[in-house]
């Protein structure tokens, strides 16, 4: 299935060989390896605006944006300037800085459910820490997650549904002892009856329910409003914390995150806790978790729940994150971004329809998903009914035409403020050529 390597792809191939000799699979994060789609990963040499260039000098319109962080596009001048200035003042101190306070103030101002927060260096750290905190604050052990949601690679979250309804899950990775996931209950996304049953059986033992409010790790699937409303009600009823994993959606789908969108449909809606990452670092290692003051005060050094990090709140990363968040607050930013993203999904949908190819797409802000399916899926099992060889052909055809989508059908895509109408038109035209030739 893997397409043959063309001679003009020689430096990527060479680098991949060198990488594979020393780095497992040649990559430092699995999805980069192109394992799902076959072929040779492109080694990025540099990036600017909406584009990056690979080791052979080929240009791509970039629809992964470092898997979400690059909402302004690559090398935004205000961000570059802030980072350059910060670097001259030192890389890391292991002592507090004013910029950490500024970033905290900025996040608390923009996300009303967050009264207090802590900065960490990766989304995995944020979600892992928020679970420990939820358990510490409630004195309970069990957690709920949903099939197809990804919350980083900590042990308790690498788990798939067990055999029966409301039974506990089994590890999805070797090296995770079954005992470690025995407190994790894995449910189907958007399945209200199952959720109710899980709370009826385990409610008083559940520390938290963690959810991607718009799931971006099974392509793009929205939690329905009635489902989210029920999540909120049941958590409140049983004293469990509702944790929004907005590592991907935070500042990506709207200035206040996906929670601000649910608050429009559900009066007074707020999660108890939120995990952030990706955009808040603007491309630097930066993430955060926060929520109500009462829960956050359980964290060390104030409270009994331990959490720490040598590089947490790194001064260069905070400079990058702050400069990014400031750009996002310019008037009309999300309206323009959302419109640009919709022009992509509607263009692709039209092109597929003209060729009679089953296709559907959805987007919010600068995040989108498309499916080679007739209707938008509501859960992981349906996402995985996508014809994967067809997706792989599409992916490689687009790659050849200089359009870089996520190299797996279960990943969301990202549009940045740097993508122009011309970039979108070129992308749609490439897809139309491919569809027409099927
Ligand atoms: C990316 C992501 C994570 C993990 O973040 P890392 O920085 O890769 O550790 C967690 N949750 C969601 C929803 C994500 O998209």
Q: How far is ligand 1, taken at its centre, from the CA of residue 217, in Å?
A: 9
Quick check: CB of 152 below 6 Å from ligand 1? Answer: yes
Q: Give the pLDDT confidence score for residue 125 in this predicted structure.
A: 98
CATH 3.40.640.10 spans which residues of the chain? 77-328
The model's pLDDT over 22-68, given as tens digits with 9 standing for 90+, comes to 999 999 999 999 999 999 999 999 999 999 999 999 999 999 999 99
Q: Note down pLDDT in tens along the chain; length 438 residues.
A: 445 445 567 999 999 999 999 999 999 999 999 999 999 999 999 999 999 999 999 999 999 999 999 999 999 999 999 999 999 999 999 999 999 999 999 999 999 999 999 999 999 999 999 999 999 999 999 999 999 999 999 999 999 987 655 567 889 999 999 999 999 999 999 999 999 999 999 999 999 999 999 999 999 999 999 999 999 999 999 999 999 999 999 999 999 999 999 999 999 999 999 999 999 999 999 999 999 999 999 999 999 999 999 999 999 999 999 999 999 999 999 999 999 999 999 999 999 999 999 999 999 999 999 999 999 999 999 999 998 999 999 999 999 999 999 999 999 999 999 999 999 999 999 999 999 998
- Rounded distance, CA 286 to CA 302, Å? 22
- Rounded distance, CA 157 to CA 146, Å? 10
Cα-Cα-Cα-Cα dihedral of 73, 79, 84, 87, to 10°? -100
Q: Give the pLDDT confidence score for residue 4 in this predicted structure.
A: 47
Q: How far is ligand 1, taken at its centre, from the CA of residue 124, in Å?
A: 6
Q: Which residues are catalytic?
A: 150, 245, 278
Residue with the two structure tokens 């296709």: 359
Whether the CB-CB separation of 179 and 242 falls below 8 Å is answered with: no
Q: Give the pLDDT confidence score for residue 167 in this predicted structure.
A: 63
Q: Give the pLDDT confidence score for residue 9 in this predicted structure.
A: 73
Q: How far is ligand 1, taken at its centre, from the CA of residue 120, in Å?
A: 12
Sequence-ordered list of residues with C-beta below 8 angstroms from that of 18, at least 6 positions apart, any chain: none
By most ligand atoms within 8 Å of CB, the mutation choice from 145, 271, 277 for ligand 1 is 277
What token pair was written down for 314? 């790194």
Q: At what angle do helices 388-400 and 421-436 cross, to 10 degrees?
A: 130
Quick check: CB of 121 below 6 Å from ligand 1? Answer: no
Q: Give the pLDDT confidence score for residue 105 in this predicted structure.
A: 98
Strands (E), 178-254: 184-187, 206-211, 214-215, 221-222, 241-246
Q: How far is ligand 1, taken at its centre, from the CA of residue 132, in Å?
A: 17
Quick check: CB of 54 below 6 Å from ligand 1? Answer: no
- Rounded distance, CA 351 to CA 168, Å? 44
Does 301 sit behind a cis peptide bond, omega within 30 degrees of 0 on the bond before it? yes
Half-sphere exposure of 354 (CA within 13 A, CB side): 15
- Rounded distance, CA 230 to CA 99, Å? 38
Ligand 1 atom 6, closest CA: 123
Query: Which residues make beta-bridge pairs with 208?
Result: 143, 241
Sequence-ordered list of residues with C-beta below 8 angstroms from that of 294, at least 6 positions apart, any chain: 137
Quick check: CB of 259 below 6 Å from ligand 1? Answer: no
Q: Of ligand 1's atoms, which has the minimum distance to the CA of residue 246?
A: 13
DSSP state of 252: T
Cα-Cα-Cα-Cα dihedral of 195, 205, 119, 367, to 10°? -10
Strand, helix or coil at 254?
A: strand
By most ligand atoms within 8 Å of CB, the mutation choice from 64, 129, 131, 150 for ligand 1 is 150
Q: Give the pLDDT confidence score for residue 119 in this predicted structure.
A: 98
The model's pLDDT over 162-177, given as tens digits with 9 standing for 90+, comes to 765 556 788 999 999 9
Is 11-75+332-437 in CATH node 3.90.1150.10? Answer: yes
Q: Give the pLDDT confidence score for residue 13 in this predicted structure.
A: 96
Q: Of ligand 1's atoms, which has the minimum distance to the CA of residue 212?
A: 13
Quick check: CB of 283 below 6 Å from ligand 1? Answer: no
Quick check: CB of 151 below 6 Å from ligand 1? Answer: yes
Quick check: CB of 66 below 6 Å from ligand 1? Answer: no
CATH 3.90.1150.10 spans which residues of the chain? 11-75+332-437
The dotted CATH code for 77-328 is 3.40.640.10
Mean pLDDT over each residue of the chain, to the nearest integer: 95
């Amino acid at each position: 299935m893997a397409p043959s390597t063309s001679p003009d792809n020689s430096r990527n191939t060479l680098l991949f060989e060198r990488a594979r000799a020393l780095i497992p699979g040649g990559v430092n994060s699995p999805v980069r390896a192109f394992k799902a789609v076959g072929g040779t990963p492109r080694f990025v040499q540099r990036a600017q605006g909406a584009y990056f260039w690979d080791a052979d000098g080929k240009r791509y319109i970039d629809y992964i944006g470092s898997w979400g962080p690059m909402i302004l596009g690559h090398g935004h001048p205000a961000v570059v300037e802030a980072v350059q200035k910060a670097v001259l003042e030192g890389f890391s101190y292991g002592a507090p800085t004013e910029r950490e306070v500024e970033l905290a103030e900025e996040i608390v101002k923009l996300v009303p459910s967050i009264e207090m927060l802590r900065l960490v260096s990766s989304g995995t750290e944020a979600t892992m820490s928020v679970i420990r905190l939820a358990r510490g604050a409630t004195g309970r052990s069990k957690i709920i997650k949903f099939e197809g949601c990804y919350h980083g690679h900590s042990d308790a979250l690498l788990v798939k549904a067990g055999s029966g309804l409301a039974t506990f899950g089994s590890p999805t990775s070797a090296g995770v002892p079954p005992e470690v996931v025995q407190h994790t209950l894995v449910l189907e996304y958007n399945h209200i009856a199952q959720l109710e049953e899980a709370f009826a059986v385990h409610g008083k033992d559940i520390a938290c329910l963690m959810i991607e409010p718009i799931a971006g790790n099974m392509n793009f699937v929205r939690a329905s409003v009635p489902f989210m409303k029920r999540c909120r009600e049941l958590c409140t009823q049983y004293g469990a914390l509702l944790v929004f994993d907005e590592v991907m959606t935070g500042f990506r789908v709207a200035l206040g995150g996906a929670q601000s969108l649910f608050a429009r449909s559900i009066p007074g809606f707020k999660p108890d806790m939120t995990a952030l990452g990706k955009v808040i670092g603007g491309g630097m290692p930066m993430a955060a978790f926060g929520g109500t003051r009462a829960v956050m005060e359980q964290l060390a050094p104030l409270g009994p729940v331990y959490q720490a990090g040598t590089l947490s709140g790194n001064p260069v990363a905070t400079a990058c994150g702050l400069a990014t968040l400031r750009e996002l607050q310019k008037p009309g930013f999300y309206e323009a971004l959302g419109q640009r993203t919709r022009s992509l999904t509607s263009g692709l949908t039209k092109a597929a329809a003209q060729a009679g190819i089953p296709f559907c797409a959805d987007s919010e802000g600068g995040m989108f998903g498309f499916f080679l399916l007739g209707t938008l899926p509501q859960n992981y099992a349906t996402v995985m009914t996508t014809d994967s060889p067809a997706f792989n052909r599409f992916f490689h055809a687009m790659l050849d035409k200089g359009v870089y989508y996520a190299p797996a059908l279960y990943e969301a895509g990202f549009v940045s403020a740097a993508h122009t109408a011309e970039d979108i038109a070129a992308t749609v035209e490439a897809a139309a050529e491919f569809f027409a030739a099927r």
